[in-house]
């Protein structure tokens, strides 16, 4: 078609394409595979860090009555799985939230998810005190999900708000909910258990308490199937509709999905501050915003980031543990401030 056009309209400038930071990416796929390999190696190593000395040989003996083997199966493996699953789930949730809401500073920690989960836990403890732990968790998940959706619905209504104002409102919204939770926790003497629960910490991860995270892992994997749709929705309503994407369905379906995922992680593991904010921002800064391309990298980086922080938390004050949330908080907070300053100076 139109063959005559292309011959005479070719310009004279044949200078090579100017390489850009992420367009020239040393083949995104190779990088992702490399990161994955690094993650696997580090994961393997982390299995053998801890108060009880467990060596690979102990595990190979595969003797169930053996203390070392039991520590390994009851504690080390669950802990590792919890770290990997929650790290990737939180980062991916943050990435998708940011894409759908079209704001780089929205994430579970700035969207009221964590504080709503706290409120849910308090409510569950006060009124359903005798219920099973699973039911209590479900109530908290429900609260977290509803809280997140309320905030996101709020954001949808103020499309032209300043990019920084949106997360600020989220933090304020979270503050109000948190204050309510604290008030009731104080009144019913639940403050300590609430704090213990909500602070991100993997030391309590044992078999029988973290399996919900496998559901989260599955849901995170499912998001990959919708990666293109999420990107298109992020490019705007008209743009998405033109390409046959059901805009509202993808937007609200996606937001429900990531609210659910982050709610479960917060309830099972506790809050890991800034994770959903910092990891996706760093990855997209390097690789662009095409979710199909950055989603796997984000999942891997998130898992790796939490894994490293967890190893630090176990070794800094060995044989004691510092809550992983504190470690992530310090590092993540710094990066977050840098990101905000950068976005201000670039004017985006």
Partner 1 sequence: MIEIDRVTKRYGTTTVVDDVSLTIPPGGVTALVGANGAGKSTLLSIIGRTLRPEAGTVRVDGLDVAKTPGATLARRLSILRQENQVAVRITVRELVEFGRFPYSGGRLTREDLDHVDRAIEYLQLEQFANRPLDRLSGGQRQRAFIAMVLCQDTDYMLLDEPLNNLDMRHAAQTMTLIRQMAKDLQKTIVVVIHDINFAAFHADRIVAMKDGRIVADGSPQSIITPGTLKDVFEIDVPVHEVAGRPLAVYFA
Which DSSP letter does residue 74 get? I
Beta bridge partners of 271: 199
> Does 284 contact partner 1 by CB under 8 A?
yes
Distance CA 232, CA 241 (A): 9
Lookup result for tokens 């800034």: 274
Calculate the alpha carbon distances from 200 to 109, 140, 285, 321, 329 in Å: 12, 15, 26, 12, 10
> Does 209 contact partner 1 by CB under 8 A?
no
> Does 235 contact partner 1 by CB under 8 A?
yes
112 Cβ partners below 8 Å, 6+ apart? 147, 148, 150, 151, 170, 173, 174, 177
Query: Which residue lies nearer to partner 1 by CB, 227 or 269?
Result: 227
Which DSSP letter does residue 73 get? I
Query: Which residue lies nearer to partner 1 by CB, 139 or 166?
Result: 166
Sole binder of partner 1 in the list 288, 323, 331, 333 (CB under 8 A): 288
Distance CA 221, CA 223 (A): 5
Shortest distance (Å) from residue 239 CB to partner 1: 8
Query: Which residue lies nearer to partner 1 by CB, 50 or 234?
Result: 234
> Does 237 contact partner 1 by CB under 8 A?
yes
> Does 26 contact partner 1 by CB under 8 A?
no
Shortest distance (Å) from residue 247 CB to partner 1: 8
> Does 23 contact partner 1 by CB under 8 A?
yes
What would the x/- binding string for partner 1 be over residues 109 to 138, using CB under 8 A?
A: ------------------------------
Q: How many residues bind partner 1 (CB under 8 A)?
A: 41
Does residue 271 contact residue 106 with C-beta atoms inside 8 Å? Answer: no
Maximal CA-CA distance, the chain? 81
- Which has the closest alpha carbon to 59: 47, 72, 49, 78? 72
Shortest distance (Å) from residue 88 CB to partner 1: 21
**Tokens encoding 57:** 């040989």
Shortest distance (Å) from residue 25 CB to partner 1: 9
> Residue 122: in which H helix or E strand, if any?
helix 113-127
Distance CA 242, CA 18 (A): 31
Shortest distance (Å) from residue 38 CB to partner 1: 25
> Does 18 contact partner 1 by CB under 8 A?
yes
Distance CA 30, CA 32 (A): 5
Shortest distance (Å) from residue 90 CB to partner 1: 22
Residue range at the interface with partner 1 (CB under 8 A); choices 107-115, 187-195, 204-212, 283-291: 283-291
List residues near partner 1 by CB under 8 A.
Answer: 1-2, 4-6, 9-11, 13-18, 20, 22-24, 102, 227-228, 231-232, 234-239, 241-246, 284, 288-290, 292, 348
């Amino acid at each position: 078609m139109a063959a005559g056009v292309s011959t005479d309209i070719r310009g004279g400038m044949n200078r090579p394409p100017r390489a850009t930071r992420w367009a020239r990416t040393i083949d995104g796929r190779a990088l992702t595979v490399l990161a994955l390999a690094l993650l696997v190696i580090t994961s393997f190593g982390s299995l053998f860090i801890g108060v009880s000395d467990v060596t690979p040989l102990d595990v190979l003996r595969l003797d169930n009555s053996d203390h070392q083997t039991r520590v390994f199966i009851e504690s080390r493996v669950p802990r590792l799985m919890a770290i990997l699953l929650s790290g990737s789930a939180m980062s991916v949730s943050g990435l998708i939230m940011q894409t759908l809401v079209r704001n780089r500073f929205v994430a579970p920690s700035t969207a009221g998810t964590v504080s709503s989960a706290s409120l849910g836990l308090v409510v569950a403890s006060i009124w359903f005190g005798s219920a099973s732990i699973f039911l209590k968790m479900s109530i908290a998940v429900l609260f977290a999900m509803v809280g997140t959706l309320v905030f996101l619905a709020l954001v949808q209504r103020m499309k032209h708000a300043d990019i920084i104002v949106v997360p600020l409102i989220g933090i304020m919204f979270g503050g109000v909910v948190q204050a309510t939770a604290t008030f009731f926790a104080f009144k019913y003497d639940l403050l300590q258990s609430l704090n213990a629960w909500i602070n991100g910490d993997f030391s309590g991860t044992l078999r029988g308490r973290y399996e919900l995270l496998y559901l989260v892992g599955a849901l995170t994997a499912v998001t990959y199937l919708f990666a293109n749709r999420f990107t298109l929705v992020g490019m705007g309503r008209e743009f998405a509709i033109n390409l046959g994407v059901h805009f509202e369905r993808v937007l609200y379906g996606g937001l429900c999905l990531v609210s659910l995922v982050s709610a479960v992680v917060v309830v099972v593991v506790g809050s890991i501050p800034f994770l959903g904010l910092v990891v996706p921002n760093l990855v997209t800064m390097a690789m662009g915003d095409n979710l199909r391309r950055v989603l796997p990298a984000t999942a891997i980086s998130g898992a790796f980031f939490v894994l490293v922080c967890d190893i630090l938390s176990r070794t800094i004050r060995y044989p004691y543990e510092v809550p992983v949330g504190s470690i992530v908080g310090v590092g993540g907070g710094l990066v977050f401030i840098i990101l905000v300053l950068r976005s201000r100076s670039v004017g985006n």
